[in-house]
Structure 1
Amino acid sequence: MAAADAAEGAALVAEADTTGRTSGAKRGVLAPLALAQFICSFAGSNMNVMINDISRDLDTTVQGVQVAITIFLLVMAALMIPGGKLTDRYGRKRCFLTGLAVYGVGALLSAAAPGLGVLILGNSILEGIGTALLIPPVYILTTLLFADMTSRARAFGTIMALGGIGAAAGPLIGGLITSAIGWRAAFVFQAVVIALIIILSRHIEDPVPPDPTRPFDTGGAVLSAVGLILLVTGILAADDNVWLMLALIVLGALVLLWFFMSVRAKERAGKEPLLPTSLFRSRTSNLGLVTQNIQWLVLMGTSFVVAAYLQVVRGYDAIQTGVIFTAATLGLLVSSLAAARLAQRHAQRTLIMTGFVLTTAGIAVLLAMVGGSPSPWAFAPGLLLIGLGLGVMLTPSVNIVQSIFPEEQQGEISGLSRSVSNLGSSLGTAIAGTILVAGLTTHAYAAAMITLAVFGLAGLAAAAFLPRGTGPSTVP
């Protein structure tokens, strides 16, 4: 459920509908970029409906599948900013094709995995690295190849819409493939799409030559990645050893502090760091990033917890679980399609606060109705509200952050924004998932959902501190 792509995409499509058609040549370039976003979004959401099937086939546990999903999201979060930086040095198209190749190898390895370790290597590590390499070029190439605002809006609308389709339909498509053929076929499907993208990419030309002399902050990339990995791994260890959890979290925080100190030292020495500190000097942007992180945390946490509960506690199969999630998909698409009009009529702060209210209310409804009803349709009202809330607030949060910075910093803030979002995704799966798998009962489910509701309220509080001047605007 990579809902940000659906929200942003539907808004951009709605706004760009009045413009002329993209030329045939540009449409040929756009196809592989949009398909790349589709398959990455699909990969982020379809594994949740395979929990039982993978657990049985690989002789592992729900916690093992949770670890695989969390590491995939974490690898993307840790490497998205370095991946964006590498495009300047080695070229956008080269990084895009390299990312596709790494992703494809990971998908095939996952399909043939004899155990959880190989699945983690293929899906979590290689597909995560591939995604971090190929996604930044998708947005950079689109910006460079579609120069005028009208065609660029249509291009981004197409890419985001395909991403939204992949994310929203991921559980249903994954459930259908798993039920009809098997969970391994879902990874073969990804590899086939990757092969198609590579074939279509022959028409892409990088409009800006790479600069091999461009410096790359290797030390900063390593420190930031290690710090994030230690932090999330500590949360995953909570169920096994509290002291190990605390040690890993503290160590992760210290490594991240070391990273920011090294960034400041490089800036004082006149060198180019991985991430300039100027990106954190705006209070409005910082609050916007906090809301983005919490939105994704709640989104992916809810997705994993509900999917695991349905399959492990209620005993539903993959396709039944995917069908139940269509309620969230419907809510997301409805609010996303209205996002452009809402942005013109209401302050972005208001939309973000409304989104958190709807999402938190949806979690409360899930707790109230699911606990007292054996019917699978008891999940529908809560999931519908969560989908509506997320669709309302995801685009304004991105707009607030992006609009703070000048054009020359858009690449850096875009990388930071997506890294923060992916970190939220991994934290949501780690925190809520760890609470759930500790008991795998209705009580554990309730505890996990209450925790997510608390995070939702924290997001609402952060949104309340946004300046009231963040008023109506169009989607960039």
Structure 2
Amino acid sequence: MHPEDGQDGRGRWKALVPLGLAQFLVVLDTSVMNVSISQLVADFSTTITAIQATITLYTLVMAAFLIVGSQVGDIIGRRRAFGIGLVVYGIGSGLTSIAPALWVLVLGWSVIEGLGGALVLPALAALVGGNYTGRDRAAAYGVIGGLAGAGIAVGPLLGGWMTTYLSWRFVFAGEVVVVVFILLTMRWIADAPAIGPRRRLDAVGATLSVVGLALVVLGVLQSGAWGWLRPLDPPVTVFGLSPTPFVIAAGLVLLGLLRSWLRRRERRGLDPLIRWRLFDVTPLRAALATLVAQNLILLGLFFTIPLYLQVVHGLNAFETGLRLLPVSVTMLVTSMCAPLLNRVASPRTVARVAFAVLFAATMWLVATVRPALDDASFAVAMALLGIGTGLLAAQLGNVAQSSVGDSERSEVGGLQYTAQNLGSSLGTALIGSVVVGALTVTALSGVQEDPRISDAVQEQVGVAVAGSVQFVPIDQVRQALADAQVPPAEATAILTTYADAQLQALRIALLVAAAIALLSLFLTRGLPGTRLAEPVGEPERGPAGPEPVEFLRRG
């Protein structure tokens, strides 16, 4: 029985209030801190690379534990898991708001909040699917997708205002209040109990999943500091090479073992961490791959763009958030148009248009990365970016959840949000490592090739950077050169080279994001090629189980 049964038109949507707020809240944290990078570096006396790792760890913890969280939800009940996850999330937010040191920030935000989110999100996806049917479900997922997009987009503006005029700590204190409100309104949500026998936790599968995903993202994250093949400054080397490819390979091996383990448990009739046969559902597989790509691009850009605005141009957090406002507006408007989009175009068509728009927006951003900021051109690029992301957010959640039956919704919710957070982790890690790597290569080669800089100073610079160059404001580099007593003429040449290298590194990172958007067009082939809003005859049966594949109903 759905909560809308016997209720008026407004009453049946009450469940979306706590569910939508929870979605907004968890996603908000993936972007709210990006505009506060400079302030976090100052508050905790650390580096941009350390803050990059902290941001990445938040999404990585969720990505690693989401599948486990979905199985826990099946065992203890989806609504109960949702509530427990919110309590854990609130505790992490409270601890983050008073963090006196970086390690406390990491514990509260990256670890505790991440674990809370890993319980909340898969339960949330299953609860939306269990509380609504047919066209109402498509609309509900459109709203949830819109709020997810809004959380990513509003985060920079909210975080920027708080950081500039109050403190970023107030964001997390406010989250505690929101968590309390959600807990008080949970009675509006009807539970969506798992169908079938009571499941047991697959501890071996959970371990392989968590460690495998963690190693893959760790390798990508540290590639900027360790080097991809040639070692820069790693803790150890392997056969004279950087440990990066070996760490990534170890993670992939564990994920391969996870696949074998899950299939073995399925053959024996035991509860696997997740039923591998779900990946035989083509629309689901395509939706998951597309979610990874979408979030990789978006969070990679949301890490890169604040560096350009804050470090290169010296804007404060609120000014940075204002420059990102066009993303907020166009993403929210576009994603809320899901019901209309479903009536005029198929998910495959919408996704392809979205990636084409993301490619155009990213290439436009490349053209705007200049010594002088062109606000008008930058705003247009940001608006296009929001349209592309909003188009994807409006479709993929509904495709993923509607491609299976009720008994698999929690598992698919875990997979869906794992894909999102894995993409977010890889986006911040990969694009961040590209920025650092490109800056290092460009800056050092520029210094070595500049005839104005003596051999002694070139050697001094090479020793000082110890393999990698930090992305820091020009004033900080100027002070470091003065402290090192570099002659003024040579210091000026180094500063010019470093400033040019920063812009070049940002352009290269944006070009990588654009290339990913272009390649992602191939991931959309498995998405439904028919409109979701058209009524048809008998629904087809999907390979994941006896339940109807609901996207074939198209409403």
TM-score of the superposed pair, with normalisation by structure 1: 0.88
In the TM superposition, what is the alpha-carbon distance from 1:148 to its structure 2 partner? 5.4
Q: 1:319 to 1:460 in 2, by over 3 A?
A: same
The amino acid that maps onto 1:453 is A
Map 1:122-201 to 2 at 5 A: 122-144=108-130, 146=131, 149=134, 156=141, 159-201=144-186
Aligned with 1:294: secondary structure?
helix
Partner of 2:225: 240
How big is each residue's C-alpha offset from its partner over 1:413-433, in whole Å with a ceiling of 9 and x where there is no partner? 232122112111110110001
Whole-angstrom distance in 1 between the partners of 2:399 and 2:24: 25
Q: Kindly indicate whether the alpha-carbon contact (under 8 Å) linking 2:162 and 2:171 is maintained by their aligned counterparts in 1.
A: yes
Partner of 2:291: 292
Partner of 2:532: 473
How big is each residue's C-alpha offset from its partner over 1:225-252, in whole Å with a ceiling of 9 and x where there is no partner? 1100000000111122231211210111
Partner of 1:229: 214
Partner of 1:387: 386
Whole-angstrom distance in 1 between the partners of 2:517 and 2:426: 14
Partner of 1:312: 311
How big is each residue's C-alpha offset from its partner over 1:132-167, in whole Å with a ceiling of 9 and x where there is no partner? 1122223333444x3655665665565555444433
Partner of 1:9: none
How big is each residue's C-alpha offset from its partner over 1:313-343, in whole Å with a ceiling of 9 and x where there is no partner? 2111110111111111222133224333233
Q: 1:316 to 1:350 in 2, by over 3 A?
A: same
Structure 2: 5+ residue runs without aligned partners?
228-241, 440-470, 472-501, 534-553
| RMSD of aligned alpha carbons | 2.7
Partner of 2:76: 90
Q: Does 1:22 align with 2:10?
A: yes
Q: 1:139 to 1:337 in 2, by over 3 A?
A: closer
Q: Kindly indicate whether the alpha-carbon contact (under 8 Å) linking 1:58 and 1:115 is maintained by their aligned counterparts in 2.
A: yes
The amino acid that maps onto 2:520 is G
In the TM superposition, what is the alpha-carbon distance from 1:57 to its structure 2 partner? 0.4
Partner of 1:3: none
Whole-angstrom distance in 2 between the partners of 1:157 and 1:347: 14
Choose between structure 1 and 2: higher helix proportion.
Answer: 1
Whole-angstrom distance in 2 between the partners of 1:147 and 1:253: 37
Q: 1:32 to 1:284 in 2, by over 3 A?
A: closer
Larger radius of gyration: 2
Whole-angstrom distance in 2 between the partners of 1:347 and 1:34: 25
In the TM superposition, what is the alpha-carbon distance from 1:359 to its structure 2 partner? 0.5
Q: 1:236 to 1:460 in 2, by over 3 A?
A: same
Q: 1:425 to 1:284 in 2, by over 3 A?
A: same
Q: Which has the higher contact order (CA 8 A, sep 6+)?
A: 1
Q: Does 1:251 align with 2:310?
A: no
Aligned length: 454
Whole-angstrom distance in 1 between the partners of 2:175 and 2:79: 20
Partner of 1:378: 377
Q: Kindly indicate whether the alpha-carbon contact (under 8 Å) linking 2:308 and 2:506 is maintained by their aligned counterparts in 1.
A: yes
Aligned with 2:199: secondary structure?
coil
Stretch of structure 1 that moved more, 150-159 or 41-50 = 150-159
In the TM superposition, what is the alpha-carbon distance from 1:91 to its structure 2 partner? 2.3
Q: 1:320 to 1:36 in 2, by over 3 A?
A: same
Q: Does 1:278 align with 2:277?
A: yes
Structure 1: 5+ residue runs without aligned partners?
1-15
Match of 2:521 among 460, 463, 466: 460
In the TM superposition, what is the alpha-carbon distance from 1:380 to its structure 2 partner? 1.1
How big is each residue's C-alpha offset from its partner over 1:265-321, in whole Å with a ceiling of 9 and x where there is no partner? 111211121111211224444333222211111011111110122112211111011
Stretch of structure 1 that moved more, 183-192 or 125-134 = 183-192
Stretch of structure 1 that moved more, 146-155 or 311-320 = 146-155
Partner of 2:449: none
TM-score of the superposed pair, with normalisation by structure 2: 0.76
Q: 1:395 to 1:147 in 2, by over 3 A?
A: closer
In the TM superposition, what is the alpha-carbon distance from 1:34 to its structure 2 partner? 2.8
